[in-house]
Every structure is written in structure tokens, then in C-alpha cells.
Structure 1
Amino acid sequence: MPLPFLTADRTFEATDDSALPYDNRDRWRRPYRPGPWRVGVAALCLLLASYVLFAAVIIALTDSLSAAAVVFAMALVIIAGALRLLRMGVWVSARGLRHVGFLATRTVPWKRVIAVRTVQQPVRWLGLPRTVQGQALTLVRNDRAAEDVPPLLTTHNGDFLARAEAFDRAADSVEVWADEYGRGA
């Protein structure tokens, strides 16, 4: 059984004419790896959760079980937040494009997608209110809700900060999915 995390950097030799090197295109997949900022923050959250779980055990042994249950619930919330943080990003499949945020997930079927474009614009730095000039991968839809669509990827988010080549590869990959499956009519 191949281990996909060990083969992520190897080049893929496609056996068919498709630019998408996946066997099961109906499965949701992220066309890029999470960036070091996102993974680092999630790792720190999980480290904090381990301390909170240890505190819950100590409280359970020395104090009341109800207080330990509250602390244990806090640890579960921290773990769920870290896992959601790792899940954030753009996911694609043959059914559509999915933008997973921390609190909300938006799925757009390919028939609503006109184009996916890389544009130069002010982008938020690590999701904070501060904006800097950068590139963003934007979604052009054919319905009325297209005005309020946030950028899918930016050069200054948690996945691509200081990794311009990785942004270019990810943007190209999402654009290939859009070209192959997007109808836009």
C-alpha cells in the first residue's frame, strides 16, 4: 500500500491525457499541502490541548469530577479547533469546488463556475485585518452571489506566506480542475 505523504514531492507520470493525476476524481481532495504557518499553529494548539488534558486528569484525581469534565471539554474544543484549522483551504472534486473556512464551508458545483483566475490585489495578511499587495485566486461564478465571494487562496494566507512557488502550483492546479470540469453555462 503506497503512503501518499511520502510521495507528495515526486513527479507524477500520467498514463492518460488528463492533466489531473488522480484515480478517483469524485473524492474531495486539497490540491496542495497545508503550509507551515497553518501546521505550526495547529501543532501549538494540540500541544496546549495535551497540557489541558493533563490538567483534567490531575483535577479528576484531586478535585471534583465535574470540574475535570469542564477542563476536558475545553481540551476537546481546542483539539476540534486545531483539526478544523488543518482542514481549512480549497478542496476540489469532479462535483465542484469547496472552500473550507474555520466556521463555514461553501461548495460551488462546477456548472456554476465560469473561471478561476489569479489576480493582483490587496490581500489579508494571515487572515488579519491588515492588507498587503499580493496575488489572490478568485472564483468567477455565473450567479448573483458572486459579488461576495472571498478569494480562494492568497499569497499571504497561512498556507502560502513566503512560498510564492507553492502558491503558483496550487493556483495552477485549481485552474486545471476548473478548466476540466467547469462549464459555466
Structure 2
Amino acid sequence: MPLPFLTADGVTDADEHEDEALPHEDHDRWRRPYRPGPWRVAIAAVLLLLTAFMLLATMIIAFAGAWGGAVGCLAAALAVLGSTLRLLLTGVWVSRTGLRHVAFFRTRSIPWSAVGRIRTVQQPVRWLGLPRTVQGQALTASGQDGTRLPVLLTDHNADFLTRAEAFERAADVVGAWADEYRAVPA
């Protein structure tokens, strides 16, 4: 079963385009300019496996006749499933209209006209989104008025940990989108 949300361009054969920049045919659709990293996919796979066990437990509990427990177990399984899907969607998305930063609990869309500067800086970054920080690279954006926007990408998040080249390529692609559409009125 193809899972088009796992790739930026809908191609499910990841080996075919491993070292190429991702193509974007329809610039009006929101696209992630990079592939989800192995850490993000591995965490999602473990959570989906947990969801499968929870659904199996739901079925066993329902067959045993404990409907209240089955409903509670089903609700917990659906919560884990929803969290997994949200985890897979987190990251930076771009389109002709602007830049979208999708976090686990919050999504923020910024039109290209409001984006002032996108650059890569050396700074302490969170390791896999945990409170521990390490020295690394971060892709940051600032507004036209100089306000600092949240960090877009880091080289130590679940998409780019141990994939420095992929981080640099993703930063370059986001910068190219910004350069192309910042001057064009949306």
C-alpha cells in the first residue's frame, strides 16, 4: 500500500531518488522539501505497532464482553494513531503562498512576503526534540520587520540526525523557495 504522505513528491520508491533534490510539479500544493528521516519513520513504525497491539487488545476485551474497557482501549489506540500521523506530518512545508512550520501541537503558516531572511546558523539545538541540547546547525527565519521566527529545522532532529548532507540540501531547497517566491506577489 503506497503511503504518499511519507514522501514529498508521492514517490514511494525512496531508493530511486536517494541523492536527488525532490521535484515539485505543482507549486500551489504544500510540499515537504525533504524526505522524513529514518528516526522519524522508526518512531512512527513502533507507534503503529503499538497501535496494532492496542486494537488487538480492544477486540479481545470486546469479545470478553467488557464494553467499557473496549471503548477505553479503542480510544487510547486512536489517540496513539492520531499522534503517530501528526508526528509524520511535522516539519517544514513550502508552497507558492508561503512557508508552513508544522509542530506536534501547532501549525504556523507564514506568507513569503512576511519572511525576511532564511539562513543556517550554528547554535545549541535540541537533540531529537528532547530537552537535551547539543551544538549543531539550525535553519532559522526572520520576519520582514526583523522579528525572529521559531527554528525551522535542525541537523539533530528526527529527520536529519546523522544526515548532514540531507540537512544542507533541505536548507538550500527552502532557501531557494524563499528566493523564488519572496519577490513574487502571492
TM-score (norm: length of structure 1) = 0.88
Counterpart of 2:39 in structure 1 is 37
Q: Secondary structure at the match of 1:30?
A: coil
Q: Secondary structure at the match of 2:17?
A: coil
Q: Residue 150 of structure 1: CA displacement?
A: 2.0
Q: Secondary structure at the match of 1:115?
A: strand
Q: Give 2:79's aligned amino acid.
A: V
1:166 aligns with 2:166: yes
Counterpart of 1:8 in structure 2 is 17
Counterpart of 2:138 in structure 1 is 136
Q: 1:62 aligns with which of 61, 64, 68?
A: 64
CA contact (8 A) 1:115 1:179 kept: no
* Higher RCO (CA < 8 A, seq sep 6+): 1
State the alpha-carbon separation in 2 of the partners of residues 73 and 39 from structure 1.
23
Q: Residue 132 of structure 1: CA displacement?
A: 0.8
Q: Give 1:29's aligned amino acid.
A: R
Q: Residue 128 of structure 1: CA displacement?
A: 1.2
Change (3 A) 1:174 1:91: same
Q: Deviations over 1:145-173 (max 9, x none)?
A: x33x2210001011001110010110000
Which portions of structure 1, spanning 4 or more consecutive aligned residues, are displaced by more than 6 angstroms?
Answer: none
Q: Residue 115 of structure 1: CA displacement?
A: 1.6
Counterpart of 1:46 in structure 2 is 48
Q: Secondary structure at the match of 1:47?
A: helix
State the alpha-carbon separation in 2 of the partners of residues 161 and 68 from structure 1.
39
State the alpha-carbon separation in 1 of the partners of residues 79 and 10 from structure 2.
30
Q: Deviations over 1:6-59 (max 9, x none)?
A: 2433747xxxxxxx9422100000000000111111110000000000000000
Counterpart of 2:3 in structure 1 is none
State the alpha-carbon separation in 1 of the partners of residues 161 and 103 from structure 2.
17
Counterpart of 1:121 in structure 2 is 123
State the alpha-carbon separation in 2 of the partners of residues 108 and 175 from structure 1.
14
- Point out where structure 2 has 5 or more consecutive residues left out of the alignment: 1-8
State the alpha-carbon separation in 2 of the partners of residues 50 and 88 from structure 1.
22
Change (3 A) 1:157 1:22: same
CA contact (8 A) 1:115 1:184 kept: no
Note the aligned Cα RMSD (angstroms): 2.1
Q: Secondary structure at the match of 1:29?
A: coil
- Point out where structure 1 has 5 or more consecutive residues left out of the alignment: 13-19
State the alpha-carbon separation in 1 of the partners of residues 30 and 158 from structure 2.
21
